[in-house]
Structure 1
Amino acid sequence: MKTSISFKNTIADIICLLYILLFVYAAVSKLLDFENFRVQLGQSPLLSAFAGYIAWMVPMLELFIVLLILSKRWRIMGLFGALCMMVMFTAYIFIILNYSPFVPCSCGGILEKMGWEEHFIFNFVFMMLAAAGILILRRGVPKAHFISKPAALASAFSMTIFFSIGIVALLFMLSEDIIHHRNNFVRRFPKHPTNSKKTILLPQATYYIAGYDKGQIYLGNRAEPLAVTIFDTSLVQKKTIRIELPKYKFPYTVPRLAVKSPYFYFSDGSVPCIFIGDTTNWKAELKMYRKAYFSILKPIDDKTAVIRAIDSKTKANTLGLFTFNNDASLQLNGRLLLKQVDGIFDTDGSLLYNSQLDKVIYTYAYRNEFLMIDSQIGNHTSGHTIDTTTRAQVSVARIESKKVTTLSKQPKLVNKLTASFGNYLFVNAALIGKYEPEIMWKQASIIDVYDLSANTYAFSFYVYNIAGRTMDEFVVLNDRIVSLNGRSLTIEKLQTNYYKPFTASR
């Protein structure tokens, strides 16, 4: 009998030792690389709104529980605290795997090498160990103590589990509400603004929209960078062309085709290089090599293109104009993109060229503003999208252990994709307005339309998901909306009194 009791006590001591090692290691790892831990929490879809508080609370609670376990008087209380923490961690992983819009990177010192499923199993095993330790230790508790009673013990287990799960679920719901809160603006949705919808299925989901002209849509292919697939606007006729490039052995990373008929650009901002060719023979010549790195390029004509790059002096995003004559020359204008936080993340956005207005359009991703810039990227005017986010809600952190600067939490996205044609700017909105059914945000992408000539909001319409997937990109061909959704290429006609198709002046 004594041997049995001694063996059980040894098991309880081993369980306590395992928890001490686990929590001390976990807490110290978090505190030593605190900024990285806080960034990982900030990028979590469940806890980003509370990352600043939780980043301190978790390691402090882990160390406090270790102190309780080290004390024989408070050891059972410490194991209940450990069980509570492990239930919270397990509930967090369960919600991540089943209800999160995306699955972030795992974190936690030695546990960083585990996948989420392995992490879930690990946590579950430690939950069982804590429960086993409590059951063993309660035998040494005086009978007058409430925990010695089976009913009280069962209630304590139940309350610990439900309390822990409830806390995580509440944090998840509150964080979702804060990050995706309703804004104080109202959209106008005309009745049936689109019709004549047609969808075809592409061979694979590696295509992207490279350009268009009056009668054709050009698709690039990330799997075959030199292949060009051309459809007519009825999506009936199709042909595939192969671009001919000079045989340079460049280390391409993100090659991109942009068609501005009758010319095309083939570029890679990470090399960096730019080829320009003619769509009559699809042969290109090298026009720029290692002049400037860039993240976005939009052709204006066969002699000029606008880019977004990082200014070597300010280390911030800037817009520039490449001119290709005998040699490539670059003119930067660092006064266009206005820094609010860091100049990189806060000025992120989409770049367009509207040939009907001869304007470059830059729409910020994290604030309600877009710029209309002349094609020489000199003078500009600004307009605003209808939401109320005037300042980018972006937080950045420097992780010295990795020598990188990154987002410390998920920023509030305002404007996703954009397109422009004629007098209109089309913005794929990221924020829900007043009086809008939430179910529609699960079934479609919302496009807000702005009249650039009057600098006013015009109306909004839906581009419906296909097979539960939102569109990846879209362009506007006057009164036609062309969208790409995985393998699905869709074209539909825009027809409403709120929209006037562009007519070229004679």
Structure 2
Amino acid sequence: MAVILSSRFKKIIVDVVCLLYILLFVYAAVSKILDFEKFQVQLGQSPLFSAFAGWISWSVLLSEFIIVFFLLIPKTKMRALYAGFCLMSMFSAYIFIMLYFSSFIPCSCGGILEKMSWTQHLIFNLLFVLLAGVALWIDYNDLNGIRRKSSRLPIKFYLFTGFFGGTIAVILLYLSSEEIMQHQNPFIRRYPHHIVTFKSTVDLKYNSYYFAGSRGDKLYMGNSTVPLYLLSVDAKLKKQKIRVKLDRDTFLFKSIKLAVQPPHFYIIDGRTPAVFIGETKDWQAFLQEPKPPYFNIAVPVDSLTIAFRGISKNANILGFYKAGNKHQVVIAPNLLEKQIDGIFDTDGMLHYSEELKRIVYIYSYRNQYIVADQSGKLVYRANTIDTISHAKIKVAYLKDKTEQTVAAPILSVNASSCVYGHLLFVNSNVPGHFEKKSIWNQASVIDVYDLNAKAYLFSFHIYNIDGKKIRSFLVTENLLYALIDEKLVIYELGELLKKEIKKVSNRR
């Protein structure tokens, strides 16, 4: 009688575990169906399965429904329970890897687990793995002796294979996803938590300011309406106006830009053309000889050198101008690649990385950036994660083809950018997969790339202020500065971004 009662009790345990799995998977599957888009977004932003979010989302949903269906059939319920054991083992491995090996942790799951921390979520999953393991053990050894005798393998083998097989499968998916996301990205962004945190706002009263440079906790801004004045802002938000001085009483400028790279500063005018260089200790600038070539944008490289973009043979080109006794002009005509007209299609933004000793040029209308050394030699070309590889520009030619203009609105891919150390920051205009369009109306997206690894890292949002998006931004060791209409908005960098900045670069 005792044996009969014991068997009944064990059967109850197995049935209860099967019922718990039915309830869990039904609830989880229904929750996913009710907001499937959100479920796909969560997987797309996961640091483990980003590249496979599309088919994994459907696979998980279908697997849960199939397991529930076969759990309801007496002849197949134990096989279905074993499938549930394997699936929960995979879920547990996923959370464990994310907690202890991932670079960041995304938002928590929805539904019944929404209020749980990721550690509590892991414990919850492991509890269900244990319950299924106990039920399978009982059924195999005590309730189904005939099958046990006819089987050549013990239940321990099946449990071991299910648990560790599922874990290995998750690890392989994770490694494959990382390779795809960093080097073959299918246009899926990752949004870790707290990349930047709002710190303060400074009302500049005018929207004519632009970033001239920074050093330490001090920011410098130029003003296009007052071209020979700088505004500095320190860590305590104390503002100071600085008037730069020339080594002559007058000079005919046409288009001035100020750049500050302490201990030097630069007055640059590519339409004159002229370059003045001075030191920040007295803000006195001296005209450099001989004159540089004409250019339209330029950035400082060192105390006597600028990198520039000019025009030659009706096409944009990159080059270097070095002043002084050993003056030199280096032209790199093959760095920029023509697709349509050589002017509009090669438009972009030019940066210089002091850490890498490299120039970085990112196109405005296609998904590519260029890294080159100070001799104008190409180091490599790489792509941003969007899919627009060819500029969508229509050019019209006027005055017997002596002038050209844009004949239709241009699709802007990269709105603004900056470089700090070995990191490239790009304000993208193109939404990726699994991104809600409503967010794009409320914020600007910044994508972060590692120039050493030629890899995409992650993205974050800078939210609009009074309906206005950022027009430019600058990153320092601890802060991100954004110009939004007439306001300077300051953000504190989060630990993940600071960690990436502090990584030792492989100087080339």
Q: Which range, TM-score by smaller chain?
A: 0.5 to 0.7
In the TM superposition, what are the counterparts of 1:275-314 in structure 2 within 5 Å? 275-288=276-289, 290-311=291-312, 314=313
Deviations 1:150-201 (A, max 9, x none): xxxxxxxxxxxxxxxxxxxxxxxxxxxxxxxxx9622111123222421111
Question: In the alignment, what sits opposite 1:165?
Answer: none
Match for 2:254: what amino acid? Answer: T
| CA distance in 1 between partners of 2:466 and 2:358 (Å) | 36
2:397 and 2:405 in contact (8 A); partners too: yes
1:274 maps to: 275
Shift of 1:290: 4.8
How far 1:289 sits from its partner (Å)?
Answer: 6.4
Q: CA–CA distance in 2 between the matches of 1:346 and 1:386?
A: 19
CA separation in 2, counterparts of 1:430 and 1:485? Answer: 16
1:328 offset after TM fit, Å? Answer: 4.2
1:456-467 equivalences under 5 Å are 456-467=455-466
8 Å CA contact 1:278–1:284 kept in 2: the answer is: yes
1:202-228 deviation digits (Å, cap 9, x = unpaired): 132221110001121001111211111
Give yes or no for contact 2:205–2:487 (8 Å, CA) kept in 1. Answer: no
Aligned residues: 321
**Contact 2:292–2:321 at 8 Å: present in 1 too?**
no
**What one-letter code is carried by the residue in structure 2 that aligns with 1:433?**
G
Q: Does 1:381 align with 2:383?
A: no
CA shift in 2, pair 1:259/1:358, >3 Å: same
Tell me how far 1:438 sits from its aligned partner.
1.2
Partner in structure 1 of residue 206 of structure 2: 204
Residue deviations 1:316-345, cap 9 Å, x none?
100110111227431111011011111111
5+ residue gaps in structure 2? 1-184
Kept in 1, the 8 Å contact 2:423–2:501? The answer is no
Q: Which residue of 1 aligns with 2:15?
A: none
Q: Residue 439 of structure 1: SS of its match in structure 2?
A: helix
TM value normalised by structure 1 = 0.60
Cα contact 1:459–1:498 (8 A) shared by 2: no
Shift of 1:499: 5.7
2:242 paired with 1:257: no
CA contact 1:190–1:496 (8 Å) conserved in 2: no
Instruction: State the distance in 1 between where 2:272 and 2:367 align.
Output: 33
Output the CA distance in 2 between the equivalents of 1:504 and 1:449.
14
Structure 2 matches for 1:145-160, cutoff 5 A? none
Deviations 1:67-103 (A, max 9, x none): xxxxxxxxxxxxxxxxxxxxxxxxxxxxxxxxxxxxx
What corresponds to 2:320 in structure 1? 321
Change (3 A) 1:204 1:338: same
Q: Which residue of structure 2 aligns with residue 427 of structure 1?
A: 426
- Which letter does structure 1 place at the counterpart of 2:481? V
Q: Which residue of 201, 222, 225 corresponds with 2:224?
A: 222
Inter-partner Cα distance in structure 2 for 1:412 and 1:402: 24
Give 1:92's aligned residue: none
Q: Which residue of 1 aligns with 2:368?
A: 369
- What per-residue deviation string (whole Å, max 9, x for no partner) do you get for residues 235-289 of structure 1? 4222221111133644423211000110001011111111000000000100046
Aligned mates of 1:333, 1:385 — CA distance in 2: 23
Aligned to 2:86: none
CA distance, structure 1, for counterparts of residue 413 and residue 198 of structure 2: 30
Q: Which runs of 5+ in 1 are unaligned?
A: 1-182
**Inter-partner Cα distance in structure 1 for 2:484 and 2:221:** 13
3-state DSSP of counterpart to 1:462: strand
- Residues of 2 paired with 1:299 and 1:317: CA distance? 19
The answer (yes or no) to whether the contact 1:458–1:498 under 8 Å persists in 2 is no
- 1-structure distance, mates of 2:236, 2:345: 38
Task: Give the secondary-structure state (helix, strand or coil) at the position aligned to 2:230.
Answer: strand
Structure 1 residue 505, shift from structure 2 partner:
6.2
Asked if 1:484 corresponds to 2:486, the answer is no
**Deviation per residue, 1:354-403 (Å, 9 max, x gap):** 11111100001111110111123223211110011111122211123795
CA shift, 1:496, in A, is 4.7
Given that residues 478 and 501 in structure 1 are in contact (C-alpha distance below 8 angstroms), is that contact kept between their aligned partners in structure 2? no
Letter in 2 for 1:293: Y
Q: Distance in 2 between matches of 1:380 and 1:505?
A: 19
- State the distance in 2 between where 1:487 and 1:236 align: 16
C-alpha distance after superposition, 1:385-440 (max 9, x if no partner)? 00111111222111237952111212221111011112211000011112211122
C-alpha RMSD of the superposition: 2.1
Counterpart AA for 2:385:
I
Matched letter for residue 191 of structure 2: F
Report the secondary structure of 2:496's partner residue.
Answer: coil
Partner of 1:395: 394
- After TM superposition, give the deviation of residue 350 of structure 1 in Å: 0.3
SS of 1:239's equivalent in the other structure is strand
User: What's the counterpart of residue 194 of structure 2?
Assistant: 192
Contact residue 320 and residue 332 of structure 1 kept, 8 A: yes
Letter aligned with residue 190 of structure 1: P
Matched with 1:346 is 345
User: Distance between the aligned counterparts of 2:357 and 2:459, measured in 1?
Assistant: 24
Q: Distance between the aligned counterparts of 2:243 and 2:284, measured in 1?
A: 9
Aligned twin of 1:437 = 436
User: 3-state DSSP class of the match of 2:501?
Assistant: coil
Aligned equivalents of 1:350 and 1:468: distance in 2?
A: 25
- Contact 1:272–1:289 (CA under 8 A) maintained in structure 2: no
Post-superposition offset of 1:443: 1.3
Contact 2:187 2:385 in 1 (8 A): yes
**Structure 2 equivalent of residue 333 of structure 1:** 332
